[in-house]
Every structure is written in C-alpha cells, then in structure tokens.
Structure 1
Amino acid sequence: MTAIAQPPSVDTPRETARAPHRRASRAPAVLRRALLYATLVALLVVFVAPLLWAVSGSFKERGDIFQTPPSLIPDPLTVENYAALLSTQPFFAWFGMSVGTASIATVVSVFVCALAGYGFAKFRFRGRRVLFAVMFSSLSIPFAVILVPLFILVVKSGLANPWFSLIVPWVAPAFGIFMMQQFIVQSVPDDIIEAARIDGNSEFGTFWRVVLPLLRPSLGALGVWSFLQSYNSFMWPLVLVSDAEQYTVPLGLNILFASENRSYDLVLAGAVLASIPTILVFILLRKQLLEGLTAGAVKG
C-alpha cells in the first residue's frame, strides 16, 4: 500500500498578513511591562536606600558617616554607637513609652472605631447623617489647629499624665470610623445581623460575636495605621512631655539631633532600633492589611 504524499502547507494570504501584526502588537506589550518593572525597581531603590544608609551609618564611626565617596559597607564595623546610646541615654524608657502608649492606643482605637462604624452603618436614628457629616468633616482639620485647645483641656482637667494624654488623641480618629463604616456597609449583610437578633443576642453581643469576626481584614489595616500614627507622633509629645524619662522615641531622637555636637551616630542607631516595632507590626498584620486595603475593590 503506497503512502499518499501530503501537499506542503501553504499559509493563506490572510494568515500571512496577520503574523507581522501579532509580532507588532506583542512588542509594545513587552515594552510596557519592561517599563513597569523598571519603574517599580526605581521606586524600591528610592524607598529602601534611606533605610540601608541608616543601618550602614549606625555601624560606622561618626567621622565615617558622611565620608566621600559614600560607602554602604562599614569599614571598620563598630557597635559602639548602640552601646553609647543605651548607656548614656534613657533609650529603653523612650522605647517603652512609645511602644506602650501606641499599643494601648491601637487596641482602644480599633475597638472604638469598629463600634462607631457599626452604629453609623447599621442603625437608623435621628441626626445620624448630620453627626456623620460633622465627624467626616473633621478630617479636613489639621492636628496643629486643635493642638493648643486640646492641651489646655487636658491640663485643666488634671489628665496630663503621659500614659493617658498620649493616648487620648488617637482613640477615635475620624478616618478609622469612616473606614470601618464603609467596610461594614459592604461586607456585613443585614440578614446576618437580623438572624443574630432573632437568636437572642443583644446589640453588643451581635457586634461582638457576629460583626467583629467579619471585620478581621479591616481591623488589621486600621491597626497598622493607628499604631504608626501614635508611634510616630512628634508634635503632641513635644508640647505635653517635659520629663526626659518620659520622652517618646521620636522626641528623644530629636533631642539628640538638636544637641550641640549633632550626635548623628547615636541618632542613626536609635532610628534603626525604633524601626523594629513598625516592621514587626507590618510583618504580623501584612495579610490583614492587604485584604483590608483591597476589600471592595473587586466586585463579583
């Protein structure tokens, strides 16, 4: 049985015309992707370079920090900056004050904002729109505007203790209430709340047992934001705290920087140690942070 030879495949004129078009359309896509990656790498370098420079400078002697040309690798490498910071300055007291007040403020703020957001999202009461509008409009008021009235109020009330007064401004931020209200409106159906009420839960029990577990992504995102706001606060502690033992980390490092001999070596060592809590908070809550930031972005 003889095999029948197959005729050679011949591209039709239409397919022949499409091939260059496919290659031409593929080239801009590759170029756009390469441009995107190059932009992301450049932004990464811009954001990471100061941190790398601070870490490198914290292990250098003071005279080598601003050497020309700059060197990222310390030569010689020394830990005297950290030893001097911890032995000559009350850094542990600053660190404890910052972490303690920021942690308490974050826990209280997340709970209060979730509770207030739940009230604005799921309850109907007289004056709700006006009250929400007043709360939301406070976002446009800079903290410097209310700094002096808040300071007078705290002092006149006899509540100037740093462990209380450093927490108060961050307990119920308008941004946090607005964020939780929006998330509850989008992610918590009314049917679930009604079912919990039918089962005999009180209003607070419904919030605690049903609503709060559904808010994990937004709670993580709000927790990161609240911690950073309180931990990095500078102006309010500067006005309120006068005892060096009760300084926060930003305030203490500013005192070192503003000193007569400009202790850049100690400031860089302190900045590296001060960044540890914020990095840990981001690592522990990164999943909730990303879920909270993207919640509601994609509608299915």
Structure 2
Amino acid sequence: MTAITSRRNASQPAPRMGGRRRRSTGGSIALYAALVALLVVFLFPLAWAVASSFKPRGDIFSSTSLIPVPATLDNYSRLLSTQPFWGWFGISVGVAVIATAVSVFVCALAGYAFAKFRFAGKRVLFTVMFSSLSIPFAVILVPLFILVVKSHLSNPWFALIVPWVAPAFGIFMMQQYIVQSVPDEIIEAGRIDGNTEFQIFRRIVLPLLRPSLGALAVWSFLQSYNSFMWPLVLVSNSDQYTLPVGLNTLFQAENRAFDLVLAGAVLASVPTVLVFLLLRKQLLEGLSAGAVKG
C-alpha cells in the first residue's frame, strides 16, 4: 500500500507557486498605484497653492499650471510690507507652543491620575470628562467667552491658551496609553525607593510616555495653531490677530486678495511642517504602539 500511495502522490501535479506570486505581485502593484493616486490627490492642492503664491493675481485662476510663468515675489513683499503678518505669525506660534507644552504636561498628569490612582468620584469625573468629547466647541464658545471676560482674564496671550490647556481627548489618550504601557510594579518600586508621587511621575512615567507625548504634542499644536472661532470672538484688535483670523480678513476684503492669502498660507504652513519633521519619530511610534496594543 505504501508503494501504491507514493505512486499516486508522485502522479499528482505539484502546486503551482507562480500563480500565487503573480496574484501577490498584482495586488502589490494595485495597492501602490492606489497609494500614489491618493498622494497626488492630497499633494496637488498644496503644490497649486505654492505655485500660485508666485503668480500675479490675474494669473492665479486663469491656469492650473504648477509652474508660475512669470514667477514673482511681489505677493510676499506686499504681504509683509502692507500687513502685520509677522505679528500674526508670532502670536500664533507663541500661543501654540505655550498651549502645547502646558497641554501635554497637564494631560499626562491627569491621565496618570485616572490610570493609576483610586479616589472618590473617579468614575464620575472620568465619565464627565469623556462625555465632553461629544460637545462641539461652538456650544461652549459663548459661555467660555463670558466666563473669561467676567474673570478679567481676557488678555489675548492668556485667553487664547485657555481652551487647549486640558483637552478631554488628550487626557483620554494619556490614560489609555499609561494603562497599557506603565506596569504597576515599576510605580511600586519607585515608591519603595522613597520617591514622592510627583517624582515617580517625572522620573519614571514621563520617559515611558515619550511616543504618546510626541503624538499628543503634534495634535495639540495643530489644534491651537489652526484655531479660528475662538480668536475671532476674543480678539478685536487687528494687531493681535492670529494667522487664521488675519488671513481671513484679507480674504474678506472687497478686492478678494487671493494673492496675499496664498502667500500667507504658504508661510503659515512652515511651522506645522517643522513640527511634523521634528516629532515624526515620536508620532509614528505612538501610532504604532496604539495600533499594536489597542
């Protein structure tokens, strides 16, 4: 029987690997083609904006060419000479940097408390905090404005930072990451060594949160830097506008200064690109960790 079985097996054709390889290669080509198409779709508006910022106003909508002919720096020179652009730029960057630093620290501290401490009302507080994610910012815009004004805290450098100090999304993100990535044994070891709770947080917990802190920093910076509604309601002096509000005033002008708006938008995108380049490693590590552990 063994000989007969071996003959039958020998007579059966071997599985063809070439078909599987061809299907795998075809699937990879289709995937890369789809990714390239999406990349073109996302990058074309940015490339068009950069190219159009070097065109005269009359040529911006007359052609979709990505090569400005003739190229001119007049849009940038008029923007910087006729508008307080650098003041808007400085306020936006300064507010975003301060708000990001404070937000990352507060969210990490609050997330650590929710993840590793037991206290009365913990579930209620966490439920209220988490439920606030479903409330649009426009709903609390007027009450927040009245609260800031009544408290005599309407100084732009302070008031512009208030909404981004302790975002619910950041606290929830830190709480989840700490639960998954910080073992209780490490914290107990720190307590046995005589460290205070804040020392444990600063020396042990924070270094372990580096990937998630980078991801949260990118998110916080973009939220604060791109904020439009809150500065629009809060600030009335044009010299204290943030970049989104300032560029909107150019767009709302009677002559529709698209050339100045495009030049300002290109310059305004520089900080966001730099933040991504500086924190891309931590951002990717944080996203990867969340995908593996979540």
TM-score range, shorter chain: over 0.9
Partner of 1:152 in structure 2? 146
**Counterpart residue type for residue 149 of structure 1:** P
Alignment-mate amino acid for residue 38 of structure 1 = A
Alignment pair present for 1:73 and 2:71:
no
SS in 1 for 2:284: helix
Correspondence for 2:6:
none
Moved more, 23-32 or 106-115: 23-32
Instruction: Encode CA deviations 1:193-240: one digit per residue, 9 max, x unaligned.
Output: 111111111111110111111110000000000000000000000101
Match of 2:224 among 215, 225, 230: 230
Supply the AA of the counterpart residue of 1:43.
Answer: L
* Rg (Cα) greater in structure: 1
Look up the match of 2:163: 169
Structure 1 position 296, deviation (Å): 3.9
Question: Matched residues in 1 for 2:90 and 2:262: separation?
Answer: 19
2:174 partner amino acid: M
The reply to whether residue 85 of structure 1 matches residue 85 of structure 2 is no
In 2: Cα distance, 1:89 partner to 1:126 partner: 54
1:18 counterpart = 2:7: no
SS of residue paired to 1:200: coil
Q: What TM-score do you get using the length of structure 1 for normalisation?
A: 0.93
Provide the rounded CA distance (Å) in 1 between the counterparts of 2:59 and 2:36. Answer: 28
User: Can you list the C-alpha shifts for 1:116-166, whole angstroms capped at 9, x where unaligned?
Assistant: 000000001121111111100100000000001001101111111110010
Task: Quote the offset at 1:17 in angstroms.
Answer: 4.5
| 1:266 Cα offset (Å) | 0.4
Which letter does structure 1 place at the counterpart of 2:184?
D
Residue type of the alignment partner of 1:50: P
- Structure 2 stretches lacking a partner, 5+ long: 1-8
Cα distance in 2 for partners of 1:253, 1:212 equals 38
Residues 72-129 of structure 1 show CA distances to partners (whole Å, capped at 9, x for unaligned) of 1011111010000000000000000000000000000000000000000000112111
Pairwise CA distance, 1:29: 1.8
Amino acid at match of 2:28: R
Q: Which among 17, 30, 33 is matched to residue 28 of structure 2?
A: 33
Matches within 5 A, 1:169-188: 169-188=163-182
Query: CA offset at residue 71 of structure 1?
Result: 1.1
Check if 1:57 corresponds to 2:52. Answer: yes
CA distance in 2, matches of 1:13, 1:247: 82
Partner of 1:267: 261
Structure 1 runs, 4 residues or longer, greater than 4 Å off: none
In 2: Cα distance, 1:182 partner to 1:104 partner:
24
The aligned length equals 285
Q: SS at the partner of 1:18?
A: coil
Code of the aligned partner of 2:32: Y
Cα displacement (A) at 1:12: 4.3
Which residue number corresponds to residue 283 of structure 1? 277
- How far residue 31 of structure 1 moved from its aligned partner, in angstroms, is 2.0
Q: Are 1:220 and 1:285, in contact at CA under 8 Å, matched by a contact in 2?
A: yes
1:259-294 Cα deviation digits (max 9, x unpaired) = 000111100000000000000000000000011111
CA distance in 2, matches of 1:248, 1:72: 29
Shift of 1:35: 1.4
Whether the 8 Å CA contact 1:114–1:180 is kept in 2: the answer is yes
**TM-score with structure 2 setting the length:** 0.95
1:7-26 CA-to-partner distances (Å, cap 9, x unmatched) read xxxx9433x3423xx23322
Q: In 2, are the aligned partners of 1:186 and 1:296 still within 8 Å (CA)?
A: no
Indicate the residue corresponding to 2:37 in structure 1.
Answer: 42
Question: RMSD of aligned C-alpha atoms?
Answer: 1.2
CA 192–255 in structure 1, closer or farther in 2 if over 3 Å, else same: same
Aligned partner of 1:8 in structure 2 is: none
Q: Is 1:216–2:214 an aligned residue pair?
A: no
